[in-house]
Amino acid sequence: MSEVALSAAMRSNLLTLQSTQKNMDGIQFRLSTGRKVNSALDNPQSFFAAQALSNRAADLARLLDGMGQSISTIQQADKGASALTKMVQQADAIANQALTASAAGSQVAKLTGTTSLTKSQVVTDLSGVNAGAALTFQLTNEDGVDVTPAGPNDSVTIAAGETVEQMLANINAITYGSDNKQALQARLDENGKLEIQSLTGGNLRVVFNNAGGGDDLDVAKALGFGDRAAVQGTAVNATDEVALTALAKPALMSTSFRTGSGNDIAVASSNLMDLVNASGDNLFEGTGGATDGDSTARLQLSINGTGTINLATFNINKDGLNTTVTTDQTIQGLVDTINTSSLSSFVEASYDTATGSFSIRAVSAAVQTVQFGVQAEGAAAGVDADFTANLGFGTGDMQAIAAGGVSPQTTTNTQSFILGAAAGELANLERDFNAIRTQIDQLVKDTGYQGINLLNGDNLTTAFNADRTSSITTRGVVFNSAGLGIKAANFGTGAAINTALAELRQALTEVRRFGSSLANDLSVIQTRQDFTQTTIQTLTEGADKLTLADQNEEGAKMLALQVRQQLGVVSLSLASQAQQSVLRLF
């Protein structure tokens, strides 16, 4: 195709129209994008400066997401800490309740029978009770020191035809001390059951004795104590003793175990044969007669009269007038034997190395009585072994006597203890307390957010700038029961409960301190979040100033170009009229 020749005027007008259209296309693009700088070709300096500002704003926008997640993590931890505070306070309330119960249960040693009586009832009319039957009382003060009056004033003898009311009056007439304080308070409760309470602040032991060769246990049964009294000394020619001990404390607690000539507090690994009391007397010893022979004695424990377990075996070797007693058992062995036995769901043993006191306490409300004693077995005829175990439980020693002339022969000496009034309640409170400990552990496990648990030792780092040179680290804590120092409940003594209360107060302080720390970090992150948002806005505005088009200006330019385009078309038309005049020649 050959070229079409254009006149100079038409070519000039055509170039003008092309330039105008090009400018119109550029303005239309700026109007459609809203930016006057859309690429480096438009304005390299402004384009790259705006891009740097936009990139920083985008980086900060991504950090805002992290800040938001950090805020959620801290809020979750704060909610967990608030719930944890309530649980610790609940545990504190239980411990305070236990302290009150322990104090109340530690004030009174009381025996309550199971048989309904009336004041006018004649005691010797009760089944198996003979005239002359006696109740002998042994008492201690709150420090465990014997305060039982000497002589006939420590017992009451039931005369023929004596009524229950007269028996009560006789018991209430027993006194102790130089000022003759009333030692006992006996009465019938609202159900007619015999209730005997110590007024000395310590333990109470009653020994039942029937006159005329009657069975001592019949007296205990008639008065409502037969199911809990222990029969001691069942061998031939042995002295029977039917007795029951009520404790002023909710646990069996021994005298102070000591060893050596220095009378030092015994360590847990001490052998039982090395133990002495505060007076330096051996707690376990044997004395013998002239007959040679060997025997065995066993320290035993049972609950509610059943489930007897052996705690220690003593070998008694007799050679003429010499007696040697040996055992491999230690104090810690006693503790472990009880705590790993079939009785561990009922009682728990412990040894306080600071005071030297060995204790057995109830961990179940099902514990009614605790039987603790010695069983001695003679291996040959003619053995006369006298084995004593004095652990300071209740009142009196425990002796097992194997009389001569019987082979084989067995004799037992067991004391039956009724724990302080709070023992069952304390066992229930321990269960409730330990349930709270479990819930604390479970709460802490459930407090995590997106894999970070500030209550279980995790840390949280929140970055505030793109290169992470500005950040804050929220330090996590371990706030399960172990981390808070809340140990498993041991409400056996007031001192142990006070220790638990001190642990709870410290735990509560730690939780509150951590909550304050969380609030501080949360405030910092929220402040930086607001600051970052305003920074992003500032950066975006700065980038827009470099690249955004002025819509009014661009619109005016478009209008001018449209007019220019129209004028160019008219000019092109005028330029073409010169060629059109040639047609008139034909």
pLDDT in tens, 452-478: 999 898 898 888 887 778 888 889 899
- pLDDT at residue 234, as a whole number: 46
H or E segment to which residue 134 belongs? strand 134-141
The band of 166, judged by pLDDT with boundaries at 50, 70 and 90, is very high
The CA-atom distances, in angstroms, between 454 and each of 78, 448, 451 are 9, 7, 10
- pLDDT at residue 186, as a whole number: 92
Query: 3.30.70, 3.90.320, 3.30.1380, 3.90.700: which CATH number matches 108-227?
Result: 3.30.70
- pLDDT at residue 342, as a whole number: 93
Point out the least confidently predicted range of 133-142, 399-408, 497-506: 399-408
- pLDDT at residue 16, as a whole number: 73
Q: Which CATH fold topology does 63-103+426-530 show? A: f41 fragment of flagellin, N-terminal domain (1.20.1330)
Over the chain, what is the mean pLDDT?
A: 79
- Boundaries of every domain in the chain: 8-59+543-577, 63-103+426-530, 108-227, 259-412
- pLDDT at residue 396, as a whole number: 64
Residue 547 predicted with pLDDT over 70: no
Write the pLDDT tens digit of every residue in 529-542.
Answer: 888 888 878 877 77
- pLDDT at residue 252, as a whole number: 83
Highest averaged pLDDT of the listed ranges 26-30, 184-188, 212-216, 295-299 = 184-188
Quick check: 194 and 118 in contact, CB under 8 A? no
Specify the long-range contacts of residues 572-579, CB closer than 8 Å, at least 24 apart.
572/10, 572/13, 572/14, 572/17, 575/7, 575/9, 575/10, 575/12, 575/13, 576/10, 578/7, 578/9, 579/7
The identity of residue 543, as a single letter, is A
Point out the least confidently predicted range of 31-40, 292-301, 360-369, 414-423: 31-40
For 229, counting Cβ atoms within 10 Å of its Cβ (0-12 exposed, 13-18 middle, 19+ buried), the class is: buried
| Topology agreement, domain 63-103+426-530 and domain 108-227 | no
H or E segment to which residue 348 belongs? strand 347-352
- pLDDT at residue 352, as a whole number: 86
The band of 383, judged by pLDDT with boundaries at 50, 70 and 90, is very low
Residue 5 predicted with pLDDT over 80: no
Point out the least confidently predicted range of 72-86, 289-303, 564-578: 564-578
Mean pLDDT of 310-334: 83
Write the pLDDT tens digit of every residue in 58-81.
Answer: 777 878 888 888 888 889 999 999
The band of 232, judged by pLDDT with boundaries at 50, 70 and 90, is low
> How large a percentage of the chain has pLDDT more than 70?
74
Structural Rg of the chain based on CA atoms: 48
What CA–CA distance (Å, rounded) separates 479 from 485? 9
- pLDDT at residue 286, as a whole number: 63
Residue 425 predicted with pLDDT over 90: no
> What φ, ψ does residue 470 adopt, rounded to 5°?
-120, 120
Which tokens hold the place of 273? 């044969």
Residue 408 predicted with pLDDT over 50: no
Comparing 441 with 234, the larger pLDDT belongs to: 441
Residue 369 predicted with pLDDT over 70: yes
Residue 211 predicted with pLDDT over 50: yes
Residues 6+ apart with CB under 8 A from 316: 286, 288, 294, 295, 296, 297, 323, 324, 325, 376, 385, 387
Tokens 């006194």, residue located? 175
What CA–CA distance (Å, rounded) separates 571 from 394? 130
- pLDDT at residue 384, as a whole number: 45
> What φ, ψ does residue 560 adopt, rounded to 5°?
-65, -40
The sheet that has 251-256: what strands, in order across it? 251-256, 357-362, 347-352
Quick check: 337 and 400 in contact, CB under 8 A? no
